[in-house]
Amino acid sequence: MVIFGASGDLTHRLLFPALYNLCRTGLIPQPLAIVGVDIVGQSVDDWRQSLRKMLESFVNNPNSENSIDAVDEGVWQRLTTRMTYVQGDFSDRGLFEKLRLHLHDVARDCQTAGNCLFYLAVADRFFGPLVEQLGHAGLLDEELRDGVPQRWRRVVIEKPFGHSIDSARELNTRIRRDLREEQIFRIDHFLGKETVQNILVLRFANGIFEPLWDRDHIDHVQITAAETVGVETRGRFYERTGALRDMVPNHLFQLLAMIGMEPPNSFNADAVRAKKTELLQAIHPISPENAVRGQYGSGTVLGRPVPGYRQEPNVAPDSGTETYVALKLGIDNWRWAGVPFYLRTGKHLTARTTEIAVQFRRAPYALFRETPVERLPPNILTLRIQPDEGLSVSFNAKRPGSEIEIDGVAMDFSYREYFGPLAAVGYETLIYDCLIGDAILFQRADTVEAAWCAVQRVIDYWAREPAKEFPNYAAGSAGPDAAAQLLARDGRAWSPIRAEHPHKALRP
C-alpha cells in the first residue's frame, strides 16, 4: 500500500487508524508493506512515531468514536515492521523512478507478488498529475491472463472528484488514459458507515419493506447531514467549494442512490453500481426555485459562542460562499414519480447528525371520524447514519383507557446497544475492499458524472446570481428560514435535527 500524502492529516487521523483496526481484527492480508510518499523530508522512524502519537490519542478517549483501550504492541509490530518512506516532489519524474525501484525491492523482500494499492491522500489538484506520473513510470501496468490480473495495480482517489460536470468528465478522461475503470476506486467515506451498508440489507433482505418502497406507499423522503462544526481552518478550501459541491454530489447522493435504487440482480459491484447510476440519471433537473442556500452568522453552538463564516480564517469578509444547502428533487421513474426527496446539509447547526427519514402516506381518517382524533401522526422509518447508528419505526397505538385516544410510538434498533461498541473510523471496510478488489462501495465514472449533471443547473444559477442576504442563519440554529419554507409550501416540515434519538432499543 503506497500512500501519497503520508505526512498529512487524512493519513494520520483516518487511514492509519483504520489499518490498525483491520490488523487487530485479522483482516489485513499478509504480507502487507506500507510505503509512505511525501515531499516532507523525514525518516521512516519519524513517520512511524507521528503515526503512533495519533493512534495513542484514541486510547480511552470518550470524545472519539474510535476509542480503544490501549495500543496492542503485537498488532503495532505486525503493521509497522514493513513500513518504508520515500521523500520527493510529486511533480518530479525522478521521484517515480526512485519509487519504481523501491517497490521492486519491497516486492522481493516482503513477497507482495508486485501487487500495489496507490492511495492518493492529497489535494484534488494532484489526482490527475499523480496518475499520469505513475503511468509514465510503468507503475500502473498489470500482468493479465485471460483478462484477469495476475499482478494488480489499483488507485484510490478521494473526493472532491471534480468541481463541475465538465471538470469531472475531464478528470475521468485524464486518469483513464493510464487506468482501466476496474483499477479506479473513487472513495466516499460515508459508504464505510455500517448503517449506510445496511440500507441494502434492510431493503432487499426483509419482505416487510420492499413491497412498500414506492410512490403508492411513501409520501416523501428527507436526507439530512447536519454538522455542529464550522469551517474552522478549511476556509481556503471552502471558499472555492461551498456546501453544495462539498456534500451533495457525493455524500448525500450516495445515500439517495441507496434508498432509491432498483434491486440489482446480485451483489456484484457492477450490478449494484449500475442501479445507483440509473437512479441518479433519473433525477429531474433541479430548479433554482427548489434550491436554498445559506451562510452562518455568529451564534452559539453547544453552549459556546462562535464567529460567523465571514470572520473565519482565510474567508473573504464579503464572501458569498454557502455553508448550507437544501434541495427538493424528483426522480423520473416508475417507482418514484411524484414522490419529493428533500436534502439538506450545513455547518454550525443545532446538532451533529446524519439520517434518512422515509415518511409513509397517511391512513384514511374515516374510521376515526366519531373520535377526538383530528390528525393521525405519520408513520416514519428513520435510518440514523451517525452518530447514534441505528433505525426506528414510528406507528400509531391506542392509549390505555376507555376513550379511543391515539398516540405515536416507536420501535428502535441501536447498533451500539445490540451489537456492542466497535472501534472504527469508517475507512476500515473501504480499505479492506480496495485490498481485495471489491468495488461495490465505490463510484464508477458514469455515477460521478450523473451526480454532477443533477446539480449543475443550480451551480450555474448561483454563480450568475450571488446571494444578497448572507449571512441568513445563526450558528447553532436549524438553518435559514427559506429551508423551512421549501417544505411548508408543500404542506410538510423538516424532521427535528437532534444528535441522540429519544427512544431506547427494544431487545429480545
Q: Which of these ranges, 45-54, 139-148, 308-317, 355-364, has the smallest mean pLDDT?
A: 139-148
What is the C-alpha to C-alpha distance for residues 309 and 318, in angstroms, rounded to an integer? Answer: 10
Strands 184-186 and 218-226, how do they pair? unpaired
pLDDT at residue 381 in the model: 93
**pLDDT digit string, tens, across residues 250-265:** 999 999 999 999 999 9
Q: What are phi and psi for residue 277, nearest 5 degrees?
A: -65, -40
Over range 292-312, report the average pLDDT: 95
**pLDDT of amino acid 275:** 95
CATH architecture type of domain 193-360+443-488? 2-Layer Sandwich (3.30)
Domain ranges for the chain, please list them: 2-189, 193-360+443-488
pLDDT tens digits for 454-464? 999 999 999 99
Which class is 2-189 in CATH? Answer: alpha beta
Q: Regarding predicted confidence, which is higher, 498 or 128?
A: 128
When pLDDT is cut at 50, 70 and 90, the band that residue 360 belongs to is very high
- The dihedral of CA 60, 62, 63, 64: what is its sign? positive
Spatial distance between the Cα atoms of 357 and 384, rounded to a whole number of angstroms:
9
pTM: 0.90
Query: pLDDT (tens digit, 9 = 90+) per residue, 170-191?
Result: 999 999 999 999 999 999 888 8
Taking residues 409-429, report their average pLDDT.
Answer: 78
Distance separating alpha carbons of residues 296 and 314, to the nearest angstrom: 16
Tell me, what's the pLDDT at 504? 44
Q: 80 pLDDT exceeds 60?
A: yes
Q: What is the pLDDT of residue 57?
A: 86
Q: What span, in angstroms and rounded, lies between the C-alpha atoms of 189 and 442?
A: 10
More confident residue, 75 or 368: 75
* Statement: residue 148 has pLDDT above 90: no
C-alpha closest to that of 344 among 492, 502, 444 = 492
Q: Where are the alpha helices (DSSP H) in 316-410?
A: none
Calculate mean pLDDT across residues 337-350. 97
What residue has cell string 513517520? 47
Q: Among all residues, which ones are annotated catalytic?
A: 251
Mean pLDDT of all residues belonging to the chain: 89
For residue 69, what pLDDT is reported?
73
Instruction: Name the amino acid, one letter, at 427.
Output: Y
My answer on whether omega of the bond before 387 falls inside 30° of 0, hence cis, is yes
Rg (CA), the chain: 24
What mean pLDDT comes out for the span 213-239? 94
Is the pLDDT assigned to residue 111 strictly greater than 80? Answer: yes
Instruction: Give the pLDDT confidence score for residue 461 in this predicted structure.
Output: 96
